[in-house]
Amino acid sequence: MKKVHIFNAGPCVLPEPAIEAAIEALKDFKGTGMSVIEISHRAKEWESVMDECRSLWRELLDIPEEYEVLFLSSGASMGFLYVAMNFLEKKAAYLESGAWAKKALKEAKGLGEAYAIASSADKNFCYIPKGYEIPTDLDYFHITTNNTIYGTEIKEDMDCPVPLIADMSSDIMSRPVDVRKYAMIYGGAQKNVGPAGVSFCIVKKDLLGKVSRYIPTMLDLRTHIKGTSMFNTPPVFSIFVMNETLKWIKAQGGLKVIQENNEAKAALLYDEIDRNSLFVGTAAKEDRSIMNVCFVMAPGYEELQDEFMAFAKERKMVGIKGHRSVGGFRASIYNACPVESVKALVECMQEFEKLHK
Ligand X SMILES: *Cc1c(COP(=O)(O)O)cnc(C)c1O
Contact region with ligand X (CB under 6 A), list: 13-21, 40-48, 69-77, 253-261: 69-77
Q: Any contact of residue 76 with ligand X (CB under 6 A)?
A: yes
Q: Any contact of residue 120 with ligand X (CB under 6 A)?
A: no
What is the secondary structure of 299-317 as a DSSP string? TT-GGGHHHHHHHHHHTTE
30 catalytically annotated: no
Q: Which of 155, 191, 220, 248 is catalytic?
A: 191
Give me the least distance between CB of 146 and ligand X, in Å please.
6
User: Burial letters for 273-288: b for 16+ Cβ neighbours within 10 Å, e otherwise?
Assistant: beebebbebbbeeebb
**Residue of the chain from 8, 97, 119, 144 that contacts ligand X (CB under 6 A):** 144
Give the span between the Cα atoms of 241 and 24, in whole angstroms: 11
Identity of the residue, 34 or 118, whose beta carbon is nearer to ligand X in the bound complex? 118
**Residue of the chain from 75, 176, 254, 327 that contacts ligand X (CB under 6 A):** 75
Give the span between the Cα atoms of 348 and 267, in whole angstroms: 16
- Count of residues that interact with ligand X, criterion CB under 6 A: 12
Give the span between the Cα atoms of 230 and 235, in whole angstroms: 9
Give the span between the Cα atoms of 176 and 173, in whole angstroms: 7
57 catalytically annotated: no
Q: Any contact of residue 319 with ligand X (CB under 6 A)?
A: no
Give the span between the Cα atoms of 195 and 60, in whole angstroms: 19
Which amino acid, one-letter code, is at 238? S
Give me the least distance between CB of 133 and ligand X, in Å please.
24
Q: Any contact of residue 8 with ligand X (CB under 6 A)?
A: no
Q: Which of 46, 57, 100, 248 is catalytic?
A: 100
- Count other C-beta atoms under 10 Å from residue 95's C-beta: 26
316 catalytically annotated: no
User: Is 291 within 8 Å of 265 (Cβ atoms)?
Assistant: no
- Kindly state the DSSP code that residue 321 receives in the 8-state scheme: B
Q: Which of 139, 167, 220, 287 is catalytic?
A: 167
What are the distances in angstroms from CA 182 to CA 66, 162, 167, 205, 231?
12, 9, 11, 12, 25
Q: Any contact of residue 77 with ligand X (CB under 6 A)?
A: yes
> Residue with CB nearest ligand X?
75
Give me the least distance between CB of 110 and ligand X, in Å please.
16
Give me the least distance between CB of 144 and ligand X, in Å please.
5
* Positions in 157-196 near ligand X (CB under 6 A): 167, 169-170, 188, 191
Q: Any contact of residue 289 with ligand X (CB under 6 A)?
A: no
Which amino acid, one-letter code, is at 262? N
Q: Comparing C-alpha atoms, which of 262, 309, 287 is closest to residue 150?
A: 287
Give the span between the Cα atoms of 209 and 214, in whole angstroms: 11
Give me the least distance between CB of 148 and ligand X, in Å please.
3
Identity of the residue, 93 or 172, whose beta carbon is nearer to ligand X in the bound complex? 172
Q: Specify whether the backbone of 187 is left (phi greater than 0), alpha (psi in -120 to 50) or beta.
A: left
Give the interface with ligand X as residue ranges (CB under 6 A). Answer: 10, 75-77, 100, 144, 148, 167, 169-170, 188, 191
Indicate which residues carry an active-site annotation. 100, 167, 191
